[in-house]
Amino acid sequence: MSEELYKEMAQSIIDGDSDIAIELAKKSIELKMHPLETITKGFVIGVNYIGDQFGAGEAFLPELVMAGEAMKAAVAVLEPELLKLGEAREMMGKVVLATVEGDIHEIGKTLVGTMLSASGFEVVDLGVDQPADKIIGKALEINADIIGMSALLTTTMVRQREVIEELDKEGLRPRIKVMVGGAPITRDWVTKIKADGYSEDAIGAVKIAKELVGKADQ
C-alpha cells in the first residue's frame, strides 16, 4: 500500500503538481504513515529524479521549478506532523540567500533557493538589493552554515567580496561558508575573492552546498 503511495508521491513531484502532492501528503497523515519516511521514501525520490533528468538535459527549468514548488507544498503539510512527534526532518544545513546591494536580479538566486529547500536545506531568502550587514546579520541570527550571494551585474559583483571581507574581519569564517553565483561570476573571481563555492546552475549549487556542509554523499 505505502509502496504504491510513495510512487504516486514521487510522481506528483515529477509532474510538478502541488495539488496532488498536498493531497498525498494529507492522505499519508490519515494513514498514519511516518512523515519523515513519507518525505524521504516518497517525495524526495521525485526531486532527485527530476534533478538527475535536468542534469542529463532531459528535463528543463520549468519542470525543475514546479517540482521544487510541489516539494515545498508537500513538506509544509508534513512538517507540523513531524513537530507533533517531537522530530524534525534532519536538515542538510541552513542557508541565507541574497542578491547583493545595488542588484535586483533574482531569477537565478530564487531557483537556487527552490532547489536547496527541495533538497533538504533550510533556506532564508532575503531577496534583492541586500547590504552586507543585513546578510551577515541574518546569517548570525539563524546560525547559518552557508551564505549564498548572487550578482548579475559586473558593477555589483564586487559586493560579494565586501561581504566576504566583512565575514573575515569578524572572524566568522570558516564557520560560515560562502557560495557565489551569477552571470558575470568566473572561477578567477571566485578564487580572487576567496569564496568557498560556486556553481553555474541550481543543481550544481545543491551539490556544492552539500559538499560545504560535509554531506556530499546524501
List 26, 31, 37, 61, residue binding another protein (CB under 8 A): 61
**Phi first, then psi: what are they for 156, rounded to 5°?**
-110, -15
DSSP state of 31: T
Q: Cell 565586501 belongs to which residue?
A: 162
List 19, 37, 52, 60, residue binding another protein (CB under 8 A): 60
CB 129 within 8 A of CB 99: yes
Give the C-alpha separation, 125 to 129, whole Å: 12
CB of 172 to another protein, least distance (A): 25
CB of 103 to another protein, least distance (A): 10
Grid cell digits, residue 213: 556542509
CB 167 within 8 A of CB 140: no
- List the x/- string, 186-205, binding to another protein by CB under 8 A: x-x-----------xxx---
List 57, 86, 143, 169, residue binding another protein (CB under 8 A): 57
CB of 97 to another protein, least distance (A): 16
Q: Site residues for another protein, window 113-152 (CB under 8 A)? A: none
According to the binding rule CB under 8 A, does residue 184 interact with another protein? yes
CB atoms within 10 A of CB 9: 27
Nearer to another protein, 39 or 157 (CB): 157
According to the binding rule CB under 8 A, does residue 155 interact with another protein? yes
β-pairing verdict for 93-99 and 146-150: parallel
Reference 78, options 27, 128, 117; nearest CA is: 27
CB of 37 to another protein, least distance (A): 33
According to the binding rule CB under 8 A, does residue 15 interact with another protein? no
List 85, 104, 142, 216, residue binding another protein (CB under 8 A): 104
Give the C-alpha separation, 208 to 59, whole Å: 21
What residues line the site for another protein (CB under 8 A)?
57, 60-62, 104, 107-108, 111, 154-155, 158, 183-184, 186, 188, 200-202
